[in-house]
Amino acid sequence: MKYLFFILIFFSFSCRSQEQYLPLNTLMESIPPNAYVKDLSNELAPYVGVYKANYQGNEIILYITKEDTRPVHYTDQQFYRDALVIKYIVKNSTGAILQNTQNMNFTPDQKFHTIFSTRTRPTQNTIIFNYDGTNCGVGWGDIYLKKINSTQISWEYRPDDMVFTNGDCPQGTDKTIYLPETKDLIFTKQ
């Protein structure tokens, strides 16, 4: 019985040691099915935290967390990636909440409100995020965060163009983009 136990442990460790990790900057087209794109160089950790900025009278609070082995569906393939996930709150000058995703539970198949990292540019100290937009996909695009120092990041949000026709969104749907559509907005770690 002891012999069987040791054999099982040996196979368990040998299977794990054969598991191949790919670096964060692996091109999507080069990722085999069910692979694991891992944060091998600990590039994501410096961005984790709560950050605040003010823009055009609104206060924006970012909650950045790291999620290991996040399932990713890209075209017809699936793989896993270590990623940063951003949740946020936007408040107006009176403190009223305009938009809040802080307590939303994001699933890999969720289409709206999710912001997650898709690639890094280590030489530029930058991480690129995909934003699926809000109601009906309003505001979908890319967000670039650049680490300035240990307490500050620079924000750039590039929403993609979207034209809505009748029937795209239910009547009365809020189509406002609350995230700051700007470049070089400085967020400070709290």
Residue 14 confidence (pLDDT): 44
* Each residue's pLDDT tens digit, 117-130: 988 888 899 999 99
What is the dihedral sign for C-alpha 42, 48, 54, 56? positive
Confidence band (pLDDT; 50, 70, 90) for 108?
low
Neighbours of 160 (CB within 10 A): 11
Residue 71 confidence (pLDDT): 87
Segment 77-102 mean pLDDT: 93
N- to C-terminal Cα separation, the chain: 55
Residue 50's region, left for phi above 0, alpha for psi from -120 to 50, else beta, is beta
DSSP conformation class of 94: T
What is the dihedral sign for C-alpha 39, 88, 61, 118? positive
Nearest by Cα to 43 from 118, 116, 121, 104: 121
Confidence band (pLDDT; 50, 70, 90) for 78?
confident
Segment 108-137 mean pLDDT: 83
Neighbours of 25 (CB within 10 A): 12
59-68, 107-116, 133-142, 171-180 — most confident range: 59-68
Segment 74-91 mean pLDDT: 90
Q: What is the rounded distance in angstroms from the CA atom of residue 117 to the CA atom of residue 132?
A: 12
Q: What is the rounded distance in angstroms from the CA atom of residue 93 to the CA atom of residue 54?
A: 9
| Between residues 32 and 2, the one the model is more confident about | 32
Residue 167 confidence (pLDDT): 59
Nearest by Cα to 119 from 22, 49, 52: 22
Contact 165, 151 (CB under 8 A): no
Percentage of residues of the chain with pLDDT beyond 70: 82
DSSP conformation class of 45: G
Residue 62 confidence (pLDDT): 97
What b/e readout covers 86-123, taking b as 16+ CB neighbours within 10 angstroms?
A: bbbbbbeeeeeeebebeeeebeeeeebbbbbbbbbeee
Lowest-pLDDT range of 24-28, 90-94, 132-136, 164-168 = 164-168
